[in-house]
């Protein structure tokens, strides 16, 4: 909502400086978002004196003027009839931005340079006169800014109104707040009554067929009007708040709306069939052309203003082209109605059409303000449009607005606000904004809010008003007394924090990507058509295609992040993200939200370090991270098994492992498939893991008990076997562990070798077995015996041989 | 004879002082303590003394022997360390084998800081789904369908009744449905609004707070939030509470703090106002209590919502919210 200081001053005395006013309004809940100087556009316009006039060599009607601009003298080409040597006139210098949007530049007119422009009142929006340059009286110094010379000063305040304050969608509404702040009374425009004779009834009628949508409809008739341009003061008022003047009739309806918040509509009465108004809902499929020349398709929930035959306006939203005020209009029917806010809101939303009128109606205008505004507009039309106000108004009011008083407890107010407010204090706050307050008993006030405060319906609304006007900052700051009992910490949060800490400890950087992804990500990830990650949840109104669906995997986000970083020449990345994925159960139900953690490692294992050769990271690097993470979470029994080829999508077959803990699959680790790299426009290998935190959560939180430390020394035996290349090395350890030999404390894989000394198709695997007894120091003989038995069993079961 | 052993000792110590290397020290050691060394000889000769003097002289000589042994050892150690200093060194300027930690996202850091402050004030933490029903996101919070207040937040819709939550406030409702008062809880999380420019991203983070009980007042709200801002920034940070509107609180307030950049003089960050909006708050609207079945005659409470990005930008001097989700490593590394 924009409002100019000078307009406000029509209704309230403002003693404060404009910045103080802005801050006082802000502190009263009307946040002033900006204060702009209305005459800012005149900053490059100065007082100029015409020193010399000579004819233009190539144009009969133009003159060359040498103009003293204070510091300099400039040449101006001018064609105004009233120029004379020694007169003072406003001189616009290059760079001036005119109210019509054009910018003045030095130019050549018929070969002669014009380094400025001598302006008329009209050109500077300082008046109507456009017949010649504006001659300045008095003796202002040349070069003085015109705004200074003419003492022009006005400001426009832009106020960010909250949706509850529909009463402030008018200059009067804001003036009312200022009056309350200054503890003054507002000066309303004189309320005039229409003529008692009810002549209007002879000419027209209003029938409301949908009273739920239209509780009140008032109309007035003005005849013999002359449609023309509005006078300067009216145009100025509208333009100051960013409204475009159209003609005197339309401008008056807009002016009154801006003044008091009641939207009005003017119909060309001669174009209304049967000269009457019918208020009804639209018929299904009915179409209608609005003032903006667009055809609208209507539905039966939309309220229409019709004449005897056809719709002439979409109620509260926009008028129709078929009854628009034109230069030929002679008789005007003015509408001033109260429409149901919900009805207007629905219509406006469905049509995707929001206007100054609909904005006010849907927020709720003053239900008792219709006739006042109507008369104000009609009288202005008689004044400005030379019209005749046909006696009386029509005021159909099938649903009467009830004003309901609200009881306010003084003690409850104090309890809620945390300050003992005196009865008189509350009373004076509420009365300052025109609430009617009566004492009922020792603790209770009976408060009747004014009709324009449609937001006030319960006692807490009154408490807020009292607090607001008392000043939030005058309420003492106190600490609550609260119960100390507490609940256990949220397990999901504890796990998430742990994972984040471990991952950063493992030198990974945390990334946060958007929860939405491009729908094509599934294809780009090579997901099979029946893959669970294809259960996409769609956003109906995405900002762009990149954000059309909710993510079903964290991998696309990480790959996008990788791409962005590579484009910045950052090629060594260790990133992780933890966040929800969303698996659709249909658009009409809440999706399954699963918290996942994913990591990505790409580039070198070390950042060009002196102690290591440059080498790209590989599968075992990222696998090590997963092992580190899981171990850091105190979870044992993690297993990595080869992911069946047919289940590999975005990771490379043969380079992907499924991660399981106690037979529970928790995710995967692997190398990104080359096709996927290409699909994401990546030119560098990448290794990822993605694990399900919900599943991990089920495996944590197990009680830990400490074990006794061994008392006796261990002894080790190594064994190197030659086995088929196809056999997974870890299966040897698993086999060893499966023998159940109590003296084996631990087994470690310490070497893998393929090459010269090993036959083709085979590999050599070296394992160290740690033996220890809890009861005694083991003798060599005993260990050797067990070791030989185990070795032989292993060789047999793996069809292996000992290395030479 | 006693004098002699003392003289030997003095002489030996003097020679030890002169030793410049391990070798020269060794030969001195042999000279005194070797099999034919002076001290050894002296000990052997004790048997030649009259029997009455032997024990005392023996004791003394052994003491001196031990003393010299210690002196040789100490000197050997000293010479060894000296030799290390001189010849044995590495280039300590080389970077260590990398064990540098990664980094938490700035949003995580600040969310943790915010939560820590409230946890210390006795709040619990709750979470809720990021995709919500219209009921929890709007209606239960006193924002009926077609209410103009819906324009305050540009909502992403999944269907007529399913939305991406536009704030963490639905968690309030879910918590109150489950728990009887008193309730004191904060709810951090992601929220979504259809808005994208230098100060808005379609996804961002909030921390919602709720404290409900008997006699919880607006003054208490001011107390808790002032305490929070003082801990988050510093104790000199001035605050102002100004009236605002949220459908689910009444009275509602926007909380501004004195601009951290210009200290109130007006700058680009605060749009010349000297104040920066940091959070929205208010007393829980009775309609919300009615929706969760709380007794509005007994129970009052307050709620607030903190924009994590906003606080993070102020804390770290970040000028563009979009940076948070581009995850440029050069940006992330700074935190």
A280 within 8 A of A343, measured Cβ to Cβ: no
Cβ contacts of residue A402 below 8 Å, gap of 6+? none
Residue of B nearest to A475 (CA): B219
Indicate which CATH number applies to the domain containing A465: 3.30.56.10
User: Of A342, A355, A323, A321, whose CA–CA distance to A210 is shortest?
Assistant: A342
Indicate which CATH number applies to the domain containing A69: 2.40.50.140
Contact A590 B328 (CB under 8 A): no
Q: Which of A31, A407, A418, A488 to mutate to test the interface with B (most CBs of B within 10 A)?
A: A418
Q: Verify that A214 and A358 share a domain, yes or no.
A: yes
What residue ranges of chain A have pLDDT lower than 50?
A: none
Indicate which CATH number applies to the domain containing A549: 3.30.930.10
CA–CA separation, B120 and B116 (whole Å):
6
Q: Verify that A130 and A248 share a domain, yes or no.
A: no
Q: Is the peptide bond prior to B251 cis by the omega test (within 30 degrees of 0)? A: yes
To the nearest whole Å, the CA of B80 is away from the closest chain A CA by 29
Of A362, A417, A588, the CB nearest to B159: A588
First to last CA, chain B: 77
Task: Count the domains in chain A.
Answer: 6
Handedness of CA A570, A571, A572, A575 (dihedral sign): positive
Burial of A558 (0-12, 13-18, 19+ CB in 10 A): buried
Q: Nearest 5 degrees, angle CA A80-CA A83-CA A88? A: 120
Can you state the angle between helices A370-384 and A248-260, rounded to 10 degrees? 140
CA–CA separation, A76 and A91 (whole Å):
9
User: Of A261, A266, A260, whose CA–CA distance to A291 is shortest?
Assistant: A266
Contact B99 A507 (CB under 8 A): yes
CA-based max dimension of chain A:
129
Residue A191 domain-assigned? no
CA-based max dimension of chain B:
123
To the nearest whole Å, the CA of A444 is away from the closest chain B CA by 15
Structure tokens at A642: 């080869």
Contact A478 B98 (CB under 8 A): no
Residue A308 domain-assigned? yes
Residue of A nearest to B334 (CA): A509
Q: Verify that A684 and A787 share a domain, yes or no.
A: no
Give the model's pLDDT for residue B49. 84
Q: Verify that A566 and A679 share a domain, yes or no.
A: yes
Q: Which residues of B touch A362 (CB under 8 A)?
A: 148
CA–CA separation, A353 and B130 (whole Å):
31
Q: Verify that A321 and A442 share a domain, yes or no.
A: no
Of A511, A513, A547, the CB nearest to B202: A547
Q: Verify that A575 and A442 share a domain, yes or no.
A: no
Residue of B nearest to A361 (CA): B148
Collapsed DSSP state (helix, strand, coil) of residue B24: helix
- pLDDT tops 50 at residue B81: yes
B117: alpha, beta or left? (left if phi > 0; alpha if psi -120 to 50): alpha
CA–CA separation, A153 and A80 (whole Å):
27
Of B108, B194, B254, the CB nearest to A500: B108
Residue of A nearest to B150 (CA): A163
Q: Verify that A271 and A379 share a domain, yes or no.
A: yes
- List, in sequence order, every residue forming a beta bridge with A690; answer none if it has no partner: A598, A668
Q: Which residues of B touch A29 (CB under 8 A)?
A: 242-245
Contact B244 A162 (CB under 8 A): yes
Q: Which of A510, A514, A614 to mutate to test the interface with B (most CBs of B within 10 A)?
A: A510
The domain spans of chain B are: 2-87, 106-332
Residue A195 domain-assigned? no
Contact B146 A515 (CB under 8 A): no
Contact B158 A587 (CB under 8 A): yes
Give the model's pLDDT for residue B1. 47
User: Of A110, A571, A198, whose CA–CA distance to A395 is shortest?
Assistant: A198
- Number of CB pairs < 8 Å for A and B? 244
Q: Verify that A691 and A617 share a domain, yes or no.
A: yes
DSSP B106-150: HHHHHHHHHHHHHHHTT-EE----SEEEHHHHTGGGT--TT-GGG
To the nearest whole Å, the CA of B242 is away from the closest chain A CA by 5
Q: Is the pTM of this model over 0.80?
A: yes
Q: Verify that A630 and A546 share a domain, yes or no.
A: yes
Residue A479 domain-assigned? no
Contact B220 A480 (CB under 8 A): yes
First to last CA, chain A: 91
Question: Which architecture characterizes domain B106-332 according to CATH?
Answer: 2-Layer Sandwich (3.30)
Residue A626 domain-assigned? yes
φ, ψ at A319 (rounded to 5°)? -75, 175
Residue of A nearest to B94 (CA): A610
Q: Verify that A61 and A136 share a domain, yes or no.
A: yes
Q: Verify that A166 and A212 share a domain, yes or no.
A: no
To the nearest whole Å, the CA of B208 is away from the closest chain A CA by 15
Q: Which residues of B touch A467 (CB under 8 A)?
A: 218, 243, 251
To the nearest whole Å, the CA of A727 is away from the closest chain B CA by 34
Q: So what's the ipTM on this one?
A: 0.87
Handedness of CA B59, B61, B67, B72 (dihedral sign): negative
Q: Verify that A77 and A22 share a domain, yes or no.
A: no
Give the model's pLDDT for residue A504. 96
Q: Which residues of A touch B159 (CB under 8 A)?
A: 540, 587-588
The DSSP call for residue A647 is G
Collapsed DSSP state (helix, strand, coil) of residue A36: strand
Residue A480 domain-assigned? no
Q: Which residues of B touch A506 (CB under 8 A)?
A: 102
The parent domain of residue A751 ranges over 715-802
Q: Which residues of B touch A473 (CB under 8 A)?
A: 240-241
Q: What percentage of chain B has pLDDT greater than the value 70?
A: 99
């Amino acid at each position: 909502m924009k409002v100019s200081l000078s307009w406000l001053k029509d209704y309230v005395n403002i003693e404060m400086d404009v910045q103080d006013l802005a801050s006082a309004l802000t502190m009263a809940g009307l946040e002033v978002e900006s204060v702009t100087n209305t005459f800012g556009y005149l900053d490059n316009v100065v007082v100029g004196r015409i020193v010399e006039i000579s004819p233009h060599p190539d144009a009969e009607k133009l003159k060359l003027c040498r103009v003293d601009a204070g510091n300099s003298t400039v040449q101006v080409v001018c064609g105004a009839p009233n120029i004379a040597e020694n007169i003072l006139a406003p001189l616009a210098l290059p760079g001036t931005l005119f109210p019509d949007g054009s910018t003045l530049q030095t130019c050549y007119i018929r070969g002669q340079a014009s380094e400025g422009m001598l302006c008329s009142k009209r050109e500077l929006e300082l008046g109507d006169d456009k017949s010649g340059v504006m001659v300045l009286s008095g003796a202002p110094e040349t070069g003085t800014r015109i705004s200074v010379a003419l003492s022009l000063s006005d400001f426009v305040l832009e106020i960010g109104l909250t949706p509850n304050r529909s009463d402030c969608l008018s200059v009067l509404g804001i003036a009312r707040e200022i009056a309350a702040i200054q503890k003054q009374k507002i000066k309303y425009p004189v309320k005039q009554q229409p003529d008692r004779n009810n002549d209007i009834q002879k000419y027209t009628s209003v029938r409301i067929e949908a009273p739920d949508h239209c509780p009140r409809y008032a109309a007035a008739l003005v005849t013999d009007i002359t449609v023309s341009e509005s006078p300067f003061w009216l145009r100025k008022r509208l333009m100051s708040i960013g409204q475009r003047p159209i003609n005197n009739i339309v401008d008056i309806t807009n002016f009154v709306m801006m003044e008091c918040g009641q939207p009005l509509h003017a119909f060309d009465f001669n174009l209304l069939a049967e000269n009457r108004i019918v208020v009804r809902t639209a018929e299904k499929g009915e179409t209608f052309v609005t003032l903006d020349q667009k055809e609208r398709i209507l539905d039966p929930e939309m309220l229409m203003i019709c004449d005897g035959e056809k719709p002439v306006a979409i109620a509260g939203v926009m008028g129709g082209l078929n009854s628009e005020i034109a230069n030929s209009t002679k008789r005007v029917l003015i509408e001033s109605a109260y429409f149901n806010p919900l009805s207007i809101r629905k219509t406006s939303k469905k049509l995707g059409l929001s206007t100054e009128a609909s904005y006010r109606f849907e927020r709720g205008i003053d239900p008792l303000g219709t006739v006042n505004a109507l008369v104000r507009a009609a009288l202005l039309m008689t004044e400005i449009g030379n019209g005749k106000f046909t006696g009386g108004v029509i005021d159909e009011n099938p649903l009467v607005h009830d004003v309901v008083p609200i009881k306010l407890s003084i003690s409850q107010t104090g309890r809620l606000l945390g300050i003992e407010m005196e009865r008189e204090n509350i009373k004076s706050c509420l009365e300052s904004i025109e609430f009617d307050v009566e004492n009922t008993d020792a603790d209770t006030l009976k408060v009747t809010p004014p009709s324009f405060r449609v937001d006030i319906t319960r006692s807490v609304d009154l408490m807020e008003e009292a607090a607001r006007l008392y000043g939030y900052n005058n309420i003492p700051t106190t600490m609550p007394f609260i119960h100390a009992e507490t609940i256990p910490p949220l397990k999901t949060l504890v796990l998430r924090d742990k994972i984040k800490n471990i991952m950063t400890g493992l030198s990974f950087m945390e990334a946060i990507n958007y929860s939405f992804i491009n729908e094509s990500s599934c294809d780009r990830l090579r997901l099979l058509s029946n893959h669970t990650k294809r259960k996409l949840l769609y956003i109906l109104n995405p900002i762009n295609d990149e954000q059309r669906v909710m993510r079903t995997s964290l991998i696309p986000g990480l790959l996008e992040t990788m791409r962005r970083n590579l484009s910045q020449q950052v090629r060594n990345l260790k990133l992780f993200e933890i966040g929800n994925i969303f698996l659709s159960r249909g658009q009409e139900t809440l999706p399954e939200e699963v918290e996942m953690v994913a990591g990505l490692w790409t580039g070198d294992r070390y950042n060009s370090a002196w102690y290591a050769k440059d080498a790209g990271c590989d599968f075992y690097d990222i696998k090590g991270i997963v092992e580190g993470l899981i171990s850091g979470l105190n979870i044992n029994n993690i297993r990595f098994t080869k992911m069946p080829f047919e289940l590999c999508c975005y990771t490379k077959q043969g380079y992907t492992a499924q991660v399981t803990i106690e037979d529970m699959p928790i995710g995967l680790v692997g190398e990104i498939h080359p096709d996927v790299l290409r699909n994401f426009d990546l030119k560098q290998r990448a290794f990822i893991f993605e694990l399900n935190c919900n599943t991990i959560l089920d495996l944590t939180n197990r009680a830990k008990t400490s074990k006794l430390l061994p008392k006796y020394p261990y002894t080790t035996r190594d064994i190197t076997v030659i086995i088929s290349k196809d056999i997974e090395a870890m299966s040897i350890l698993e086999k060893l562990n499966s023998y159940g030999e109590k003296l084996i404390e631990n087994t470690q894989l310490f070497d893998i070798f393929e090459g010269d000394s090993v036959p083709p198709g085979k590999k050599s695997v070296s394992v160290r077995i740690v033996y220890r007894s809890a009861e005694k120091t083991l003798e060599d003989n005993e260990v050797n015996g067990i070791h030989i038995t185990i070795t032989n069993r292993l060789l047999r079961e793996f069809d292996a041989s000992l290395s030479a | 004879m006693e004098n002699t052993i003392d003289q030997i000792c003095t002489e030996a110590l003097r020679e030890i002082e002169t030793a410049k290397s391990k070798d020269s020290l060794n030969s001195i050691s042999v000279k005194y303590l070797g099999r034919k060394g002076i001290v050894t000889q002296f000990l052997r000769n004790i048997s030649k003394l009259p029997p009455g003097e032997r024990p005392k002289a023996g004791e003394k000589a052994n003491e001196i022997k031990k003393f010299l042994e210690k002196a040789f050892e100490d000197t050997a150690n000293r010479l060894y360390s000296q030799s290390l200093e001189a010849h044995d060194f590495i280039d300590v300027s080389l970077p260590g084998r990398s064990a540098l930690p990664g980094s938490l996202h700035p949003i995580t850091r600040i969310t943790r800081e915010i939560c820590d402050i409230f946890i210390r004030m006795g709040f619990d933490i709750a979470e809720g789904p990021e995709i919500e029903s219209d009921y929890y996101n709007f209606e239960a919070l006193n924002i009926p369908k077609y209410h103009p207040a819906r324009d305050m937040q540009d909502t992403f819709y999944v269907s007529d009744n399913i939305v991406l939550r536009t704030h963490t406030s639905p968690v309030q409702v879910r918590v109150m449905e489950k728990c009887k008062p008193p309730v004191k809880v904060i709810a951090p999380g992601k929220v979504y609004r259809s808005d994208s420019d230098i100060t808005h991203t379609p996804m961002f983070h909030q921390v919602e707070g709720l404290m409900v009980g008997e006699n919880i007042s607006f003054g208490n709200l001011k107390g808790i939030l002032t305490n929070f801002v003082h801990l988050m920034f510093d104790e000199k940070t001035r605050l102002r509470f100004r009236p605002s509107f949220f459908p689910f609180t009444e009275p509602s307030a926007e909380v501004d703090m004195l601009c951290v950049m210009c200290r109130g003089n007006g700058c680009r960050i605060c749009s010349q106002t000297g104040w920066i909006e940091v959070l929205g708050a208010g007393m829980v609207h009775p309609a919300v209590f009615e929706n969760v079945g709380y007794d509005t005659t007994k129970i009052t409470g307050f709620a607030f919502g903190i924009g994590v990005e906003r606080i993070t930008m102020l804390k770290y001097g970040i000028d563009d919210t979009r940076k948070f989700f581009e995850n440029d490593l050069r940006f992330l590394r700074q935190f």
